[in-house]
Structure 1
């Protein structure tokens, strides 16, 4: 086995096979549930070759090993005799869902638990759509072909039916049956209701108010029916499914067992869909529009300053799992105005981290360090996975870490100044560059500014490594003490 020695060291470090309840993995981490965490040798594991860091959060003991985690996990299962668990698409921080955490952290944990299962397929669909946009820049006639229509449908389907997908994921989180959750989400984009919006409205609520104005299309039991476009929407499905979970629980508790199976679904679907269409949908759409307007107003005050602040601190938020509170704002803004101006401000972060990795590979004379950490971290950062570089390279080198963050801030400021926009979700890092191409106007100044900012961040980070060196803080401290 390729990773046999590392796996044996990890098993010994976590207190032996008998101390492991189960083990799973995400993009870069082995995730253990241990019977007794005090038996684990954390410092010994951190010093093990092939281990980048050890994190304890939310009842999990996480061993960060980098992008080769799948191969390591496969060997670990065989050596330890552990049962395979489902993999996570992203490095979700389970500490955010800990019952003892504060309300804000619980909210981030809730958002994370709903978005994590769908983010991978969302990015896959966005990548396909963005590649179509890139092809059309160089071959405009391709857009009129059947091939384009089919490929675009494959990529965009996840956004077209996003309320259903989010409803399914929210149902998993709130305990609503999967098929019932999807059926409730489907009501929001039911074709006949969408067609109804194409006709003339019967009235207007809050006419003249840019934020609250809404068209009315008849009524339901005397309540005005406000119909809005819920395609690509994030917010409506989540509160509706939360409400559905309460309705489902209520009727499951009061209905006789003989009719419970049928009528719990009937009442849950009927009540939840009516409340969703008449109340929750319009309110959450107003909130989404308010958030979008707030974001754009904030950026309008000083796009350069906003870009620098967001770009500088984004990777820091990722380190602590706090970025999950920001990601939904991208989709909220996109659903309201068709694009996000907030997302591009952190794009240069991938460039800066990749630049640091390039600098480490070029300047580091330790061949083993390049093979085991620097080169894998470089490859991961190109694909938008920053954790190996964050934990393995930057955290042990604080000056280099902050220089890298500032380089990202400079890139973010350039992107903000040029008015960069994110039009479709897709791959992270440089692979996601086509997602910033305007599908109507093609490559514009915003896209050019984004790319230039990313290149600047990369070059500044490379230069920082050559100026500050490759030694860790601990190594530098030892040399200084010896001198």
Structure 2
């Protein structure tokens, strides 16, 4: 079946399920959705419509019956209007749909966790092209650089170029997310990006690195490195979504161009740098401190601590607080020449991300989504870049996050139980990370490798069994929200 034939088949099934031409008052499409005004909204069966091939999900909002298609919506719309003899209308912009902008779901503690993940996923999903491109450059740097094929020396311009391009894709996350989060929270995109850029200003970075005391309007600032972080800017843009409308409301329109962005940033500076930014890392810091305490207790607690690192490492990466544990690991290496706690869990976690990608690739039905999952798997195992899998699979679909944590926990638990020790601090997170276990006994190396295999297989199996989504299909990326049928 050709693509055009599939579009026609999908369109005809949708047309039949919504009650046919006679039940349609009007139909338009936006970037990802067919939007129907139906005479009788009780006719469509949401589950049946959602299960049509080519349909991602359905939604009822603003007096419209919305069928979510994704990037091929224009093709399906053309086939639909042709099949039903309906008049064509120009595409609409979701962001300018007043009914949908005003509509907010009532707050629910029950849905709080899901809502938070949806906002994170909605802000990260549009960044997948950046994740893929940056990962490819980092992967080429890993393969062609001194750690593998040694085609390029660490001092060569080509290697440095590959590294800097790959690093830039992740380091500037606060700016990228400033834009995508603005779509979620309906703030000014450019001002939101500006807020993210402030977190990465070289002067602020130098203050943090030097450990110098700094205050904002006389309020002491907690020193945090915001490079590659996700949560702090999300919190900042969320609060900004209340601050910005306030100034828009009270400032005369003639002065709004100057004073709304200026006053918004002026208010957001102390909120972001002294409260929201540190709060974004607060949770991660306490996880880090708690796990490190397990290591100091020794015995069964240390074993459990390694397992927890394997399970929770990627959460720490999101908050930027994994740096605390890395600093501890480096200190122990420098003093003792080996380490048997943090590194074990971190390596297990990286293999768990790759395993999760494998489980997702095997479970997903959509060819494009499968291809992405396979790409993330290669990026993790060969390139040592786990962010694409973390943000492109775990956060995006939610369910695989559980599989990833299970795999990381199991791999870390095995490493702890068998008293594996890392003798080499390997600066990569790909399969070569296992060479860090070289230097001790043969069984130490074998058990170290087995811990990685257990994490990989455990995450793959858990992800496959748990499933990726209810339909194991795509996410409505362009619409910036997760859709579950």
The aligned counterpart of 1:112 is 121
* Superposition pairs of residues 20-419 of structure 1, within 5 angstroms: 21-23=27-29, 35=38, 37-41=41-45, 50=53, 55-56=57-58, 59=61, 73=73, 75-81=75-81, 98-99=105-106, 101-102=108-109, 103-104=111-112, 105-136=114-145, 137-140=147-150, 141-199=152-210, 215-294=211-290, 302=304, 330-332=317-319, 333-334=321-322, 337=325, 344-345=351-352, 347-352=354-359, 382=374, 415-417=411-413
The CA distance in 2 between the partners of 1:435 and 1:85, in whole Å, is 46
Native 8 Å contact 2:142 2:148 kept in 1 = no
Cα RMSD (Å): 5.0
Q: Report the TM-score, using the length of structure 2 for normalisation.
A: 0.58
The CA distance in 2 between the partners of 1:19 and 1:247, in whole Å, is 39
The CA distance in 1 between the partners of 2:415 and 2:222, in whole Å, is 33
The CA distance in 1 between the partners of 2:348 and 2:239, in whole Å, is 31
- Counterpart of 1:12 (choices 16, 38, 52) is 16
Shift of 1:147: 1.1
Q: Report the TM-score, using the length of structure 1 for normalisation.
A: 0.58
- Secondary structure of 2:225's counterpart equals coil
Shift of 1:8: 2.1
Shift of 1:280: 3.1
The CA distance in 1 between the partners of 2:233 and 2:174, in whole Å, is 6
- Secondary structure of 1:290's counterpart equals helix
The CA distance in 2 between the partners of 1:233 and 1:418, in whole Å, is 30
Distance 1:32 1:349, change over 3 A: farther
Native 8 Å contact 1:58 1:98 kept in 2 = no
Distance 1:119 1:226, change over 3 A: same
Distance 1:439 1:45, change over 3 A: same
Distance 1:266 1:78, change over 3 A: same
The CA distance in 2 between the partners of 1:411 and 1:380, in whole Å, is 21
Q: CA offsets, 1:198-252, max 9 Å, x none?
A: 54xxxxxxxxxxxxxxx44254554334433211122222222333333323332
Distance 1:74 1:278, change over 3 A: closer
Shift of 1:6: 3.8
Native 8 Å contact 2:229 2:317 kept in 1 = no
The CA distance in 2 between the partners of 1:436 and 1:147, in whole Å, is 21
The CA distance in 1 between the partners of 2:404 and 2:433, in whole Å, is 29
The CA distance in 2 between the partners of 1:408 and 1:106, in whole Å, is 20
Native 8 Å contact 2:18 2:43 kept in 1 = yes
Shift of 1:157: 0.9
Shift of 1:164: 1.6
Distance 1:115 1:130, change over 3 A: same
Query: Structure 2 regions of 5+ residues with no counterpart?
Result: 82-87, 95-103, 295-300, 327-345, 378-399, 417-426, 438-444, 465-485
Distance 1:138 1:189, change over 3 A: same
The CA distance in 2 between the partners of 1:194 and 1:177, in whole Å, is 25
Native 8 Å contact 2:182 2:188 kept in 1 = yes
